Amino acid sequence: MRGCLRGATLTQIEPHTPSLTLPEKLKVASFKIIRDQVKALDGHQVELTGILHGVPGVENGVLVADSDKMKVYVGGGDSSLGEDQDMLRNEQPTMHARTIKDLAPACAAATPKQP
């Protein structure tokens, strides 16, 4: 996903999947290996790859098989099947970045949202 990096926050988010509804801001957590890059790219337009946490509808996974005795999910679970399957915890929307790519040395001007 692309956006403007402001400190440890991603704003002006452009999701890779247009049908994905994301909050206006995402906290950015990164692996130690790229942490210095994240700090150095403050104020830049960047592209991040990683894992989203705390975003409703993202961590449910994909139901790949369903019968009266079993449900099989890839990448998540159904909270009605037990607490250990509940992937929707009350946490701040966060992108756990694995890679970061510098797209532009400055963020694009924010466009006002139309009512």
Q: Tell whether 33 and 81 lie within a shared domain.
A: no
Q: 43 and 77: one domain?
A: no
The answer to whether residue 71 is domain-embedded is yes
Q: Name residue 76's amino acid.
A: G
What pLDDT band is residue 61 in, cutting at 50, 70 and 90?
low
State the average pLDDT for the chain.
77
| Predicted pLDDT of residue 83 | 53
d(C-alpha 112, C-alpha 74), whole Å: 38
Based on the fold, state whether residues 74 and 21 are members of the same structural domain.
Answer: no
Residues 6+ apart with CB under 8 A from 44: 4, 5, 102, 103, 104, 105, 106, 107
Average pLDDT over residues 1-16: 89
Question: Containing domain of residue 61, as a range?
Answer: 57-89
> Which DSSP string corresponds to 57-104?
TTTT-EEEEE-SS-EEEES---GGG-GGG----S---EEEEEEEEEEE
- Domain count of the chain? 2
Question: pTM higher than 0.85, yes or no?
Answer: no
| Residues 36, 63 within the same domain | no
Q: Is residue 114 part of a domain?
A: no
Q: Are residues 64 and 24 located together in one domain of the fold?
A: no
> Residue 109: what pLDDT?
73
90 or 94, greater pLDDT: 94
Any domain includes 44: yes
